[in-house]
Amino acid sequence: MTTAKSETIAAQISKTLAARIIAGEIEAGAKLRQDHIAEEFGASHVPVREAFKRLESQGLVVSEPRRGVRVAGFSVDEVREVAEMRAALETLALRNAVPHLTRAILDQAEEANRAGDRALNVQAWEMANRAFHRILLAPCGMPRLLKAIDDLHTASARFLFSGWRAEWEAPTDRDHRAILDALRAGQTEIAATTLARHVQTIGQKKPK
C-alpha cells in the first residue's frame, strides 16, 4: 500500500469513527479494536493506527499503554477549555480574514446560517454551523490555525450532540446574524467580540 493511499484510507476511517463518536453511537469508554476496524474497512493496521492518531489529536480517543485505544469521556472543565480555545483562535483567524472577506463570501456565510435555521436535526444544524464558521475564517490563509480550529469544532460538536440528543429544535442564531451585520458594516472588533462571546456559550453547557 502506498503512503498516499494509506493516508487517504486513514482519513476515511477517522472521519467515519469521528462521526460515530460525535453522534453517540460509540460511547465514552468503549474500546476501539484495531483488528475489528481493519476488517470492517478492508484495510491493514497501518491506516487504522494513523486514524487513531488523528482521533486522539481531536480529543475523541485516548491511547493507553497495554490497554489500547478507547473513546474519551469529557468533563465540564474540558468543555470550558475547548470553548476558551475556540474563542481565542477563531477571533485571531477572523481578524486576519477580514481584509479578504468579499461580499460573495459574506453571502455564502449568510446562506449557511439560513441552512442552520432550516435544519431538521442536530446533525444538519452542526454541519451548517461549522460551514458558517469555516467560510468566514478560511480567508485568513493560516492553515495550521484552521486545522487547530477544525479539531476544536469536532470536540464542540460532540458536546452539542450530547446535550441535544434527546430533544431537537433548530435554534435561531442571532449571534451569527450580528457577526455578519458587523462585518458588512466594517466593524471588525464588534464582529470579533461577538464571535468570542458566541463560541464561549458552549462552555456554559453541561455535558449529559
Interatomic CA distance for residues 184 and 68, integer angstroms: 50
Shared-domain flag, residues 95 and 194: yes
Interatomic CA distance for residues 208 and 191, integer angstroms: 31
Report residue 122 as a C-alpha cell: 442536530
What CATH number has the domain bearing residue 87? 1.20.120.530
Q: Which of 28, 43, 71 is the last residue of a domain?
A: 71
> In the predicted model, is pLDDT for residue 197 greater than 90?
yes
**Quick one: pLDDT at residue 170?**
54
Q: What are phi and psi of 69, to 5 degrees?
A: -110, 135
> In total, how many domains does the chain have?
2
Q: Give the pLDDT confidence of 150-189 residue by residue, as tens digits.
A: 989 888 887 777 655 545 455 557 899 999 999 999 999 9
Q: Which of 40, 71, 102 is the last residue of a domain?
A: 71
C-alpha gyration radius of the chain: 18
CA-CA distances (angstroms) from residue 131 to 23, 31, 87, 151? 18, 31, 17, 14
Q: Give the pLDDT confidence of 53-85 residue by residue, as tens digits.
A: 988 888 888 888 878 899 888 778 888 898 999
Shared-domain flag, residues 95 and 152: yes
Residues in the chain: 208
**Quick one: pLDDT at residue 205?**
55
Shared-domain flag, residues 65 and 23: yes
Shared-domain flag, residues 84 and 48: no
Report residue 203 as a C-alpha cell: 462552555
CB 97, CB 136: distance < 8 Å = yes
- The SS3 of residue 1 is coil
With cut-offs at 50, 70 and 90, classify the pLDDT of residue 6: low
Handedness of CA 114, 117, 120, 121 (dihedral sign): positive
What CATH number has the domain bearing residue 16? 1.10.10.10
Burial 119-150 (b: 16+ CB within 10 A, else e): beebeebbebbbbbbbbbbbbbebeebbebbe
Tell me the average pLDDT of the chain. Answer: 86
Q: What global pTM score does this model have?
A: 0.75
Shared-domain flag, residues 156 and 65: no
Shared-domain flag, residues 198 and 153: yes
Residue 41: domain span: 3-71
Q: Which of 71, 95, 129 is the last residue of a domain?
A: 71
Shared-domain flag, residues 25 and 111: no
**Quick one: pLDDT at residue 7?**
65
